[in-house]
Structures are given as structure tokens and as C-alpha cells.
Amino acid sequence: ALTVPDKKVDSVCPYCGVGCQLTYNVKDNKILFVEGRDGPANHERLCVKGRYGFDYAHHPHRLTVPLIRRADAPKSGDFVMDPDRVMDVFREATWEEALALAGGTLSNIRDTHGKKSLAGFGSAKGSNEEAYLFQKLVRTGFGSNNVDHCTRLCHASSVAALLEGIGSGAVSNPVMDVTKAEVVIVIGANPTVNHPVAATWIKNAVKNGTKLVVCDPRRSDLARMSHRYLQFKPDTDVAMLNAMMHVIVHENLVDADFIASRTIGYDELKQNVEGYSPELMAPICGIDADTLRYVARLYATSKGSMILWGMGISQHIHGTDNARCLIALALMTGQIGRPGTGLHPLRGQNNVQGASDAGLIPMMFPDYQRVDNPAVRAKFEAAWNTPLDGTPGLTVVEIMHAIKAGQIRGMYIMGENPAMSDPDANHARESLAALEHLVVQDIFLTETCYLADVILPASAFPEKTGSFTNTDRTVQMGRQAIDPPGQAKQDLWILQELARRLGLDWNYQHVSEVFDEMRHTMPSIGGITWDRLEREHSVTYPCVAEGDPGDPVVFIETFPRDSGRARFVPADIIPADERPDTAYPLVLITGRQLEHWHTGSMTRRTAVLDALEPDPVALVHPLDLAGMGGKPGDVITIESRRGKVTLYARADDSSPRGAIFVPFCYYEAAINKLTNAALDPFGKIPEFKYCAIRVALG
């Protein structure tokens, strides 16, 4: 018989940054199915993850009781996951015992070794309120700014460039503005896979006459319907973009009024691109000079041109330079500050924008207010009633190095899985294993949990209420649809209980009280009340006063920098940190695939998604595969200077020859064991998109 839901709960999708609104259909505390809702980003559309990726919440692997590491279970960075032998490593504990051990040990480390001996990783999978309380716990309970999250691994370089050039790290225009643009450039992004509903709006725009230019070393699905596809060589973004700017300058396609009235630094940029003619750059980037000229003219002269980018731009040691070039393109042509124009770094996780806004970053208090600004610090000291550290803390990868150096001794990780997601994961695992005390709060026994001393069972997305901010700067309400299993608790409860054991006097009775505190310390969302979110479901910031409708398009008259003007920052070519050589002749590119999300802890425990993509795969150009004597389905071993994995080869000609793409979601072939931890010096983002490898059959 057909099972009929007894409850419908409106919420948002837990996966990517598009932020599709959906409805959970529930019966007997179980989600039966999900429907798309008429939200501003999706208008009832959902992708395969949003529609089918919900049953992880009911998976038997859910953590349902606090766990404490057994005294005789040593930690080792080269552990092998064995779910059947978990209780050899951990024992069950009461909440009181687990919280007392976690809070007591972290307090002891702080009091013995100093405030900078502790660090925390928060989560872009949690709500704004959870992110806010997490960073507040680290800043007021640990006493330092050693707090970060996965933005460091995705768009930190984009944000660094945007803050520097424009004064705001968020997007200028919503995705939906592609339907108003004459020209859309999608560069270093594969929205069909990573932001699928956003891709459908791009496709709609193309059908209505928008000219789409796709620039990417990997030929994405969108490239098939593009007006021009520029398959530039991996790692040559700056060469290609500077060549386009060279054309715009030389053919006087600039918006002189915009440059004169709204920007600074143009002369330096103009001088810098002088040496980047299309003829000189064509052999470097692999795009012929005529095509570079054509696309530059197309972008500069249209009535409205928009740029969307992803981690193909940001995850390089020159990621900030890549983003600087995109910003400069928009500024020199005045393609910003109007509907159907602008700059849109597509956010990866559903709340990476909100977690960053809420201050889960080591150099900023909430709302991007710098920790080393004395006036800002004084404001937060008054709001939180405690002295605060005025020096920026360590970032994700820096924390791993600081553990090895003995500087960081204890950590609290909520909903992140650095044992899978950090670059050079063997090093990251060794670092986590070297901690004196590691507390992990999660819904599954992740690879990072294997290295924990205390594991706190948390709530899954549909088990709690909170606000989430999507890639469009839209704050949306996620609502509780089901109860957590067993003794698992809501994350806000866990945060508050741990805070109390660190000596903090917290007493939030409801999530709305946290949001209310946030909006009084964060001017951008000052006008958004909890009641309004309940009523309207979503409000876009900046929204500085109650009654303010919110601004989907910003920078119309001014930029949020002291001068009100945006700044050009020139960029030069910096090669990847590790180039192919005779020992490691190929290039590794990592990323996501449609059916799985990040480290796979949720989607690989979702029946439909796991059935669609059950095994670890590497996408290899058919000629490269044939060249090594292999065929599709063969087992191959990929090796870099840092590690190796074994997985299945899939013939795929979307990658250029010599470049192999591997998703990072498979624990049995954890590809981040191979990636390079070299950092962009500004955004401190690792170079996930380029390292040298070799491949062998078997």
C-alpha cells in the first residue's frame, strides 16, 4: 500500500551552495520523499542529490551514543577503517562523561600550554547559528583565533581577492541573473555536476539567446551548448585572462567613465597587461589569438556580461591572482553593479557562505570584521563580555603543520573530515594522530573520528532548525523534520554544554536567540529578524534595517571599501608548485562528481546515490588509457610523491591528455593522500587542482 506522509516540513537542501528549497515528507519520524519548493534559487527544481540524497539520516551507521577512545587503542595516521571493529578502539560513554573528558582535557591544555595551543574546525554543513557559536567558543573559550573551516579549501583565494579589490567577499549578483545577461562566462567551474540547478538556469538563458563562454581545461557538459569553449591548458588561467585584458586595453573597449569614477589602480594594471599580447600567450594557454580576441570583445562590448567561477580558479597557489584577473575584467569594462552583470564565485557547500559570514575564519570576527582592528575587537569584547585575541589565527593547513611542531595540542572538530579533505592527507592524518586530545562531533564515524579521543554524536540536517546562507547571499530557514536517533543531540546543545565545561556562562534557550545575537553584531544582516525568516523563508543581505527588502544586486553606486572605489590588482604568471617531470609525468586534478558530495560520508550512505556511483574511479583520457595498455574498468594505481591509491579507470575524453581527474569522496581511494599542500600566499588555499603523478595498471 502507498505510504502517505503524516507531516510536511519546509526546509532547504543540505548539499551544494545553490540553496534549493525543498519539502520533507515524513511519516513516523522517517523521511519518505522530498519535493522541490518554490524558492528563489530553484523554483521547485532539485537535482539528484537534493531529491534522493536524504536517507543517510536513517542509515544504521549513524552515531547514536558518545564514544571515548580506549586507553589501549593507539592512534596512527595510517589507520585502516574497519567498521566492524569500532568497539576495539572506542567504548560507549554517557554524555556527562564524554563532555567532562572533552571539556576538562581541552581546558587543561589551554591552562597549561596557553591559549594558542588549541584550535577548532567548524563546518559549512551546519547552520549559521552553529557556525557563530563555534567560533565564539573558540575565541572566548579557547582564547585565540585558531578557528577555520572548509572555505579555506574552496574559495578562500576568491574571497581574498574580492575583499582586496571590491571590499566584499560575497557575490555581486545572484545566479538567476544569468537569465538577464547577454554574455555569461563560466570559468573553472562545472555547474552541471557541482551546482546542477544553477546549471539549468544557465541552460535556460542560452536557449533564450545568452551567449555562453565556457573556459576550462576539462570539457564540461555546459561546454556542449556554449557559444565558445576555451579548453585552456591546466594552470594557465592568468596568461589567458591577461591576454583578454590586453585586447580590451589595446582596442579601447574599456569603460573609461567607470574606471575614472569607480576604481583605483588602473594604470598599474594597464601597464602590467602590456606584456601579455594574445600572440605571446596563445602558445602558453593553448587558445589561439583570434579566439582570445573574439571572447575579449564579446565580454567587453555586451550590454551585460556576467562571470561565474568555481574551484578551477581558486584551488591553485595563484588562486588569488586568478580571481584578481576576473575582478579586473569586470571593472575595466564596467560589467558590474547592474542586473545581468557581475562576479559570482559559486559556493560549494550549502552554508559555506553563511559559515564564513558568521566568523568561522581565523582573521575575521563575524561579518568580515578584522580581528586585528582595535575598534572592532573592542566592539566584540563588549558584546561577548570577555577579552579577545587581536592577532589572526592559523588556517586549516597551517594548523596541521602547527600540530607537528608541537604548537597545537588539542582540537575540536565539528562536522568536518580533514582526514579525507585536507591536501597531503597522510600528513594531515599523522598530525591529527599526534594531538594530545581531539574531540570530534559528527553524525557518522568518519575517517577523522578514527583519530579522536572523544566522539560526540550530532544531529543530521533534517533533525534541527537553523538558518543557512546560499551562494546568492540569501539567508534561508532550514527546519527540523525528524528527531535525532538514539542519544544523538542537536549541535547547538552540544556546543553549549561543551562551552559550559570550558568555563563559559552560556544559556541560549532557542536557536532564535543565537540568531538575534548574530544580527546585533553583524551589520549586513541587521535587518533580518527570526520572525521574518519564519514568515518569508528567505531574505537576501545586505539587509541593514528592518523593512529593508535586501539587495540581490550590489555595488550599484559604490563599493564597500574606505574610498568607495574598487581596486585593480595586477597579476603575473606563477607556475604550479609541482610540475610534471620524468618521474611523475602526468597531472592530477581533483574535484567532485554529481552523485557524491565532498568526502562522501553522507552520499555514500544514500541508497540511490551510492547505487549510481558505488566505486572509486579515475577519469582518464581514452588515448592515455590505451597508451598504457589499459581499458575502461581496469584497476590502476595513481601515485604522487606523497602517496598512492588504487581505483578503477574510466575512459573520459573531457580531460585533456596527460591530466587525470579523480573525485575526492572515496575513502578506499582517498585521493587527497596524493595532493599538494602548497598554499596560495594570500588565500592560504592548497593547490588541489594541480600536482604531478604517475599511473600504472594494476
**Residues making contact with ligand SF4 (CB under 6 A):** 13, 15-16, 18-20, 42, 46-47, 49-50, 195-197
**Bridge partners of residue 342, in order along the sequence:** 306
Q: CB 24 → ligand SF4: shortest distance, Å?
A: 13
C-alpha cell at 92: 560507549
Shortest Å distance, C-beta 294 to ligand SF4: 32
Which of 18/292 has CB closer to ligand SF4?
Answer: 18
Q: How far is the CB of 464 from ligand SF4 (least distance, A)?
A: 18
C-alpha–C-alpha distance, residues 373 and 39, integer Å: 38
Q: Which residue is nearest to ligand SF4 (CB)?
A: 50
What's the burial of 505, exposed, middle or buried (CB within 10 Å: 0-12/13-18/19+)? exposed
Q: Rounded CA gap, 20 and 40, in Å?
A: 8
- Closest distance between ligand SF4 and the C-beta of residue 15, in Å? 3
3-state secondary structure at position 84: helix
CA distance 109 to 410: 7
Does residue 580 have a cis bond before it (omega within 30 degrees)?
Answer: no
Could you tell me how many residues make up the chain?
698
| Min separation Cβ 546 and ligand SF4, Å | 28
To ligand SF4, the closest distance from the beta carbon of 471 in angstroms equals 9
Query: Given the complex with ligand SF4, which of 185 and 197 has the nearer CB atom?
Result: 197
Distance between start and end Cα atoms, the chain: 49
Torsion on CA atoms 266, 271, 276, 277, rounded to nearest 10: 100
Dist. CA 454–CA 583, nearest whole Å:
42
Which of residues 17 and 484 has its CB atom nearest to ligand SF4 in the complex? Answer: 17
Q: H-type helices in 406-510, by residue range?
A: 418-421, 425-434, 491-501
Q: What is the largest CA-CA distance in the chain?
A: 73
Nearby residues of 385 by Cβ (< 8 Å), 6 or more positions away: none
Cα-Cα-Cα-Cα dihedral sign, residues 512, 62, 80, 608: negative
Query: Cα separations (Å) of 459 from 64, 134, 179, 414, 590?
Result: 10, 15, 37, 11, 29
Q: How far is the CB of 131 from ligand SF4 (least distance, A)?
A: 18
CB of 14 to ligand SF4, least distance (A): 7
Cβ 37 to ligand SF4 shortest distance, Å: 11
| CB atoms inside a 10 Å sphere around CB 250 | 15
- Please tell me the distance from the alpha carbon of residue 284 to that of residue 278, in angstroms, as a whole number: 10
Chain centroid, CA 8 distance in Å: 30
How far apart CA 558 and CA 552 sit, in angstroms, is 15
Q: Please, what's the b/e burial string for 144-169 (b: 16 or more CB within 10 A of its CB; e: otherwise)?
A: bbbbbbbbbbbbbbbbbbbbbbbbbb
What is the Cα–Cα distance from 154 to 352, expressed in whole angstroms? 9
User: Minimum distance between the CB of residue 311 and ligand SF4, rounded to whole angstroms?
Assistant: 15
Residue 664: CB minimum distance to ligand SF4, A: 17
Please, is 634 exposed, middle or buried when counting C-beta atoms within 10 Å of its C-beta (0-12, 13-18, 19+)? middle
Give min distance, CB of 392 to ligand SF4, in A: 32
Contact predicate 34/24, CB 8 Å: yes
* Cell representation of residue 36: 522541490
Contact by Cβ (8 Å): 522, 367: yes
Q: Is 590 within 8 Å of 663 (Cβ atoms)?
A: yes
In this structure, are residues 102 and 501 in contact, taking their beta carbons and an 8 Å threshold?
yes
Which residue lies nearer to ligand SF4 by CB, 52 or 412?
52
Q: Do 387 and 381 touch, CB atoms closer than 8 A?
A: yes
b vs e for 190-213, b when ≥16 Cβ sit within 10 Å of the residue's Cβ?
A: bbbbbbbbbbbbbbebbeeebbbb
* C-alpha grid cell, residue 60: 544504521
> Can you tell me the distance from the alpha carbon of 480 to that of 459, in angstroms, rounded to the nearest whole number?
10
CB-CB contact of 134 with 106 (8 Å)? no
Going by the DSSP 8-state scheme, the letter that residue 139 receives in this structure is: I
Rounded Cα distance between 215 and 28, Å, is 48
Residue with cell 583578454: 244
**Rounded to the nearest whole angstrom, what is the least distance from the CB of residue 352 to ligand SF4 in the complex?**
12
Least distance (Å) between residue 450 CB and ligand SF4: 27
In whole angstroms, the minimum distance from the beta carbon of 484 to ligand SF4 comes to 22
What's the min distance (Å) between Cβ of 560 and ligand SF4? 27
For the bound state, the minimum distance from the C-beta of residue 19 to ligand SF4, rounded and expressed in Å, comes to: 6
For ligand SF4, the closer of residues 50 and 234 by Cβ is 50
Q: Considering beta carbons, is residue 48 or 65 the nearer one to ligand SF4?
A: 48
